[in-house]
Structure 1
Amino acid sequence: MQALRGSSLRSSTGLKARSSTACRAATAIPPKFKGVKPAGDRVLVKVDKEEGKTQGGVLLPTVAQNKPTAGAVVGLGDVELVKSGDRVVYSKYAGTELAIGGDEHVLLKEEDVIGVLPSGDKIAKLQPLGDRVLIKCAQAEGKTAGGVLLTTESDKPTLGEVVAVGSGKKDADGKVTAPNVKVGATVMYSKYSGTEFEEGDDAFIVIRESDVLCELA
């Protein structure tokens, strides 16, 4: 899964998701239709409201408002990992945006749901889905061993502590293989993998287990 990178913007998840700004037009469902039933392995999510003001009360232009990537599941297809009412976090550019009764929704594949995060909970409480792993990123060092200041994005470490793991990867026969990584382990992961979040001074990333390169002992 491609990392969401760019400027740090605060979303209505209560986090800062590292992402770039983009606009997509939602498909309006005609008023005569009262419901949407997801097909296959899809879920319908009612998107959290966007923030219309900064923390200081300044109104934000529409294009400057950060797009939420969280919402409540309001419709289910043939899925196993989420249920109606779950508040989920999903990949930013995934799915099809729908306008239903004046509210913004997104129709997602279950695969695009990163994890379940009840409203008000901190990102450390995220329950990753499938073969995903939630990692609290290590703090970047301010200097090299030789005393040279580190200032670029490329100097950011790609290791951290495993905070939570999903149920595991499902094979073609429907068998689920539990993750090999354990909560509490310190791991190194692929540099451009996953979806990043910031919360206060802490940084987190959700990656696939296959993007874990090694465990440090």
Structure 2
Amino acid sequence: MTRPAMLSKASRGRLSVCAATAVPKQFKAVKPVGDRVLVKVDKEEAKSVGGVLLPASVRNKPTAGAVVAVGDAKTIKLSDKVIYSKYAGTELELSGEEHVLLKEDDVIGVLPGTDKIAQLKPIGDRILIQGAKAEDKTAGGVLLASESAEKPTFGTVIAVGEGREDEETKQLVKPNVTAGATVMYSKYSGTEFEEDGESYIVVRESDILAQLA
């Protein structure tokens, strides 16, 4: 019997542990309702880059997977490879495999076949930004250690989602920023990624503070 996957969540300074809901064996399929999608979660990385086996407590929990069932979602299709918010959705164990049931708005973006974050297609009003390089020296020329370098909160827009639906008019409202713009964003916003020595962040349009020129 497969042990249910566990998820730690921080809530008001407390740490709680939630077990995945095991779908009874007589049920072989889950049909999402409304704008929800069912995602089969990518396998956890059990080894470090150097091949060292990692204990379960230090493994990075995947937040990506393939869409295996779709409700009435408008921007996500069956078989899409998606990235989703870390603590979003309801975890399910179906036929011994880990899945997560998500609202469409919990999906950050759709990955291309290459799985490159730099080519991520953001969903809704989200925006993909390539972060600026951190300064490695102080104003006086003192070399900073990487952990003490001030982290920039601005970068270049790489891709923009199609926009959000206005609650009253039901019309699609496109973001006001375009690819190529340099923007400043809220310090603690978004979801961060590292790839090929570059930093990326996906934020909502409301987290964009200003465009820089």
Question: What amino acid sits opposite 1:70 in the alignment?
Answer: A
Given that residues 135 and 149 in structure 2 are in contact (C-alpha distance below 8 angstroms), is that contact kept between their aligned partners in structure 1?
A: no
**SS of equivalent residue, structure 1 residue 155:** coil
Give, in angstroms, the shift of residue 165 of structure 1.
Answer: 0.3
- Equivalent in 100, 121, 127 of residue 121 of structure 2: 127
**Aligned counterpart for 2:153 among listed residues 158, 162, 165:** 158
Match of 1:182 in 2: 178
Q: Contact 1:190–1:213 at 8 Å: present in 2 too?
A: yes
Distance 1:214 1:56 in 2: 41
In our comparison, the structure showing a higher alpha carbon Rg is 2
User: One-letter code of the match for 2:182?
Assistant: T
1:41 deviates by 1.6
Structure with higher RCO (Cα < 8 A, 6+ apart): 1
Aligned 8 A contact 1:23 1:63 in 2: no
| Structure-2 separation of matches of 1:153 and 1:176 | 42
- Once the two structures are TM-superposed, the CA of residue 121 in structure 1 deviates from its matched residue by 2.7
Structure 1 residue ranges without an equivalent (≥5): 1-20
In structure 2, relative to structure 1, the CA distance for the partners of 1:23 and 1:88 (3 Å cut) is farther
Q: Structure 1 residue 195 and structure 2 residue 188: aligned?
A: no
Conserved? CA contact 2:63–2:84, under 8 Å: yes
Rounded to whole Å, the distance in 1 between the matches of 2:84 and 2:128 is: 14
Q: One-letter code of the match for 1:157? A: P
Once the two structures are overlaid, the 10-residue window that deviates more, 83-92 or 112-121, is: 112-121
Greater shift after overlay, 55-64 or 186-195?
A: 55-64
Give how far 1:120 is off. 3.0
Counterpart amino acid of residue 189 in structure 2? S
1:44 to 38, 47, 67: 38
- Aligned residues: CA RMSD: 1.8
Partner of 2:50: 56
